[in-house]
A and B are shown apart, each in its own frame.
Chain A
Amino acid sequence: MSTTTTTPSAPPTASGSPRPQGARAAVRRVTHHHLFWPVVALVVMLLACGLRSPGFLDVTIMDGHLFGQPVDILRASATPLLLGIGMCLVIATGGIDLSVGAVMAISLAVSLTYIDASGTGGTVGTALTAVAIGLLVAAVIGAFNGFLVTVLGIQPFIATMILMVAGRGIAMLITKGQITTTTSPPFKSIGSGFVLGIPTPVVIAAVVFALVALLVRRTALGMLVESIGINREASRLAGVQSRNITWFVYLLCGLLAGLAGIVYGAPTMAADANNIGLMKEMDAIMVVVLGGTKLDGGKFSLAGVVVGALLLSTLERAVVIFHISSQITPLFKALVLIIVCIAASERLRSLLTSRLPRKRPAPGTGTSTPSAQEVTA
């Protein structure tokens, strides 16, 4: 039944039509890709910044390290990317994790408090132990969220809101109400150092992305997560262990939030329980949605999270480049996000295509079927 079976021997009645159609199909495939509009927005944003501030897109090498605005954007993308990856999987199961911002604060508080107490902040061993403890606590929190959601059956929004609210209190307890500051060059370099000339956060985010992408797509985890998000009961009856898988995803999300907290807070070396990761859960959700993953669960796109994270940090950079006053910064961000969401809206697209005159009139399709039959005959 395919309409593209026109071979070179096809009658000249269909002349000219197959080739543009093939090209059109290719264009269609690109423009209908779920990442098309987010990528367009990203490119437009970068170009606009480049026009406004010549040299914006330049990358220079100083002391063997990469510097420049694009590098800063990459560096700033690391946190939302780490959060977004975990959030993306949680959302795919039909849930949500509002506690990631608070988890960032907790893991940083735990790590810095440990370093502060050890008194040997300068050694790599202490820094690594601090990271390990911070991540462990974050993973435990993720597991706790997962326990509430899967075993007790509490709605994810409520279950994770508990820690979103209480988490900062816990971080406060750890730091005894102070902003714990300490020194540990190895720990600090996690946030502000370089590996092979590339900022460490970028390397960490890239490695985590690659690992999770492999974990999700090279095993069957991704498909099972999607299946749970689309139809939990049918998945259960098909033997999918939705409880274990969902639980694991919350744990992973907590772990990644902990890592994000360390990466984000390390350059400051100050565990500010009230402000580290504040409203970052909203950034994470936004990044996931911008990347084309629907909030009602099911199909998800990790590549979309990357694009979303880049878009978000480019936006924040553009605010500076365009000297947008701080009062209207949120409005500016909101506008861009709305435009991307509208452009990517399936419904709008189908509405537009149905209003436009049909490109292929009915007779054209009518003749193509018999000609295809002739070819096969």
Chain B
Amino acid sequence: MSTTTAADAAPVVEMTGITIEFPGVKALDGVDLTLRPGEVHALMGENGAGKSTLIKALTGVYRIDAGRIVVSGSEHRFTRTRDSQDAGISTVYQEVNLCSNLSVAENIMLGQEVRFGPFINWPATRRKAREHLALLNLDIDPSSALSSHSIAVQQLCAIARAMVVDSKVLILDEPTSSLDKAEVAELFDVIRSLRDKGVAILFVSHFLDQIYEITDRLTILRNGRLISEHLTKELPRMELISAMIGRSGEALADVEERAHRVASEHDEAPLLRAVALGRDGSVEPFDLDVHAGEIVGVAGLLGSGRTEVARLLYGADKAGSGTLTFDGTTRAATPLTSIKRGVAFSSEDRKKEGIIGDLTVRENIALAMQASRGPWRPVPAKELDAVVERYMKALNVYPANPNMLIRNLSGGNQQKVLLARWLATEPRLIILDEPTRGIDVGAKAEIQRLVAELAGQGMGVVFISSELDEVLRLSQRVVVMRDRQKIGEITNGPDVTSTTILETIAASGSAS
């Protein structure tokens, strides 16, 4: 119903023929996008399809090389983000971009404070912030520090901030990737109420369920080009996927088939054994064995201690208690000793703990390999070229140019480069923390296939993901975490489903 009225209304944003070139790549090639007031519009495409670039064109981060941007009937040429904001366009990014050390009220009202002459009227400012929070059904203390709230609440604060400046267009870039189910439902309520007020919402997400639940219309991009625009309810899921990846959905179907492997008998000693490994304030002591050729999943809700387990196993954090044995030798782990022993760790925070933005793809791949050799013994150029070429090809990194700066790659491709970095160290055990977060269906499938393949070649894998399906699809055993404790270990089998894991989490919750 709302879609029919939305279609009649004059578009609030009309982008036509948008073209953006980067050195060596055409990131966008004549793309159109129309946003109508009172509709939720999904922007769909794989990593590197140009979604982020298009958003950045609309928010004034990038300048367009060709095309027109018309907002509310008048043409704009955005040269900075401020121009776009002034035109009524607000963005909530995947990573919350607020100041976590300021209070909620300060964040929401930043630049819009209620003034008294040259001074800020704080009580009035806080009152106004509270009103805006109330509109989003959020009852939190405006003077509390933003960092004291969950990511979900922070995201809602970011939306509240967008509403303070009375935005006509709200861009939500992967807003749900770090939220749990209840939080997503809450966010969707807010989105619906904003839509009903006539705000045009551009929604980017890799969760297809959410796309079908919340959006009215969608635009599909592939390789920087516009593929098509549809009403969401008129486009079957399979067709959407094939439009995004540019081939039929069969390729995906075979990933959907669970790579069920019978947990083999492990006579030999485990590759990695943690006994009572723990760290105060991080994770309670836990035991864990990983054998060669085995994929061990770690499941649990956000904040359950999944990441902390990974960090202790790798030595990113110093263990406070317990022992870690790798291949028969027991010693405390640091990143460097781990790499030298053949352990690799891909962090969940790609931007802060993964990529070296201003270095090239080649250098990023070389980094861990080089670090293990120390600064004085450089990897011979020929050897490095071979390694770089091999992994860029195997992982299908796009664009296939090792001399590009990694920060100019899309998120999924950055992730692939980071995997290449770790595979280049020829690890015997790889710890993957959310390797598929924020990347699209196609790349996700590729990475899952790769993980299964690596285990097939005898590598031990610790696989952490907030998507239970993914964990179950790949792992032979699943470690279940809750409240920073290991609460169980489930051997995977045909009758183990995501419900089994959720029940485990819930059951132990009632027991305690």
Contact = CB atoms under 8 A, between A and B. Distances in A.
A1 B371 CA distance: 35
A238 B356 CA distance: 10
B376 interface: yes
Contact of A235 (B26, B338, B367): B367
B326 interface: no
Interface residues of A, number: 30
A230 B358 contact: yes
Nearest to B372: A239
A227 B367 contact: yes
Interface stretch (B151-159, B299-307, B346-354): B346-354
B107 to A, nearest CB: 24
A236 B356 CA distance: 11
Contact of B359 (A226, A233, A237, A358): A226
B83 to A, nearest CB: 12
B239 to A, nearest CB: 27
A224 B358 contact: no
Interface residues of B, number: 41
B345 A220 contact: no
Interface in B1-60: 17, 19, 24-26
B368 interface: yes
A265 interface: no
A206 interface: no
B24 to A, nearest CB: 7
Given A1-B25, A236-B335, A239-B339, A223 B353 contact: no
Given A226-B359, A227-B363, A362-B66, A219 B368 contact: no
Given A1-B26, A227-B363, A241 B356 contact: no
Residue of B63, B339, B367, B377 with most partner-chain A CB within 10 A:
B367
Given A1-B26, A240-B367, A218 B378 contact: yes
Interface string B258-278: 000000000000000000000
Nearest to B21: A365
Interface in A218-264: 218-221, 223-224, 226-227, 230-231, 233-241, 245
Contact of A226 (B353, B358, B378, B421): B358
Nearest to B379: A220
Contacts of B193: none
B359 A224 contact: no
B378 A220 contact: yes
Interface in B378-437: 378-379, 421
Given A227-B356, A231-B352, A239 B316 contact: no
Nearest to A299: B358
Given A221-B375, A223-B363, A238 B358 contact: no
B373 interface: yes
A362 B66 CA distance: 6
Nearest to B223: A1
A233 to B, nearest CB: 5
B226 interface: no
Given A230-B357, A230-B359, A354-B79, A238 B371 contact: yes
Interface string A22-33: 000000000000
Interface in B277-321: 314, 316
A365 B378 CA distance: 42
Residue of B79, B353, B371 with most partner-chain A CB within 10 A:
B371
A231 B357 contact: yes
Nearest to B26: A1
Residue of A223, A358, A362 with most partner-chain B CB within 10 A:
A223
A239 B371 contact: yes
B355 interface: yes
Given A234-B347, A239-B340, 19 more contacts: A1-B25, A2-B24, A218-B378, A219-B375, A219-B376, A220-B370, A220-B376, A226-B356, A227-B359, A227-B367, A230-B356, A231-B356, A233-B352, A239-B339, A241-B374, A299-B358, A351-B79, A362-B66, A365-B19
10 contacts: A219-B377, A220-B376, A224-B370, A235-B367, A237-B354, A241-B374, A298-B358, A351-B79, A362-B17, A362-B19
List the 8 closest A-B pairs by CB distance, nearest first.
A239-B371, A362-B66, A239-B339, A220-B378, A239-B336, A221-B375, A240-B371, A238-B368
